[in-house]
Amino acid sequence: MTPRTDARAQIIIALDFPTLRKAKDFIRKMDASRFLWKIGLELITAGKAWDLIHFISDRSGQIFYDGKFADIPNTVGAASKVVAKMPGVKMLNVHASAGKNSVIAAVQNKGSEQLALGVTILTSIEPGECGSIFGDKPGVKVLQFAHMLSDVGADGIVCSPKELKLLKKHKGLDMLVKVIPGIRAKDAPPDDQSRTMTAEEAVIAGADYLVIGRPITQVKDPVLAAELIMKQIASVS
């Protein structure tokens, strides 16, 4: 899978809104066709995913269905079959920690034009906590998960920008599309994302897509914020 290199194509805006109305109002401001859009657990749990998917796809937008499947292979496969029928969905994801057979189930049951991504270590997990959960540091575990994802045919990986340089050192992993959350400005106040980089730093390190929420969705002028980030990406890509 060859990554897209256009700066606009590299931005996935996270629609982490409490209501469908707020999500739709935000998309109307931004022009749906210019970005990819991440629909996550908040709107999925609220039962609004299908409505929003049709709203975006009707406006020529593409979707990252961030369901983060983490279950036995049969369940992950069945869920992936449902996503395969969703219009406009370009990406879906499954936790790599669910095991290789669950990742294989997602790969085998996704839509023919969809990308199956493996979620590795969440950006909110610090090194000490990673050790208590996964038994080692984030870099070690992300690399282990990445090799497994590549071996079983996953299209891409979701990891923090901090692990990108490590992944780049392994040529066998170069075909994995790198989808990277944890994008923050240098002067951004601390929040629940602990392993972060700026957009420019992440692209230089090897990111193919940047998942960006609050730096765009929770500012006074989101259109301007998105344009500035696109210019930053274009300057280094």
CATH of the domain at 43: 3.20.20.70
pLDDT of residue 119: 98
pTM: 0.91
> Given 24, 38, 48, 68, which residue is catalytic?
68
The boundaries of the domain holding residue 64 are 8-236
Domain annotation covers residue 106:
yes
Q: Which of 173, 160, 171 is nearest to 207 (CA)?
A: 160
Report pLDDT digits (tens) over 70-84: 999 999 999 999 999
Q: Count the domains in the chain.
A: 1
Domain annotation covers residue 1:
no
- Residue 17 confidence class, pLDDT cut points 50, 70, 90: very high
Domain annotation covers residue 3:
no
Report pLDDT digits (tens) over 124-164: 898 999 999 999 999 999 999 999 999 999 999 999 999 99
Distance (Å, whole) CA 142 – CA 160: 9
24 is catalytic: no
Domain annotation covers residue 2:
no
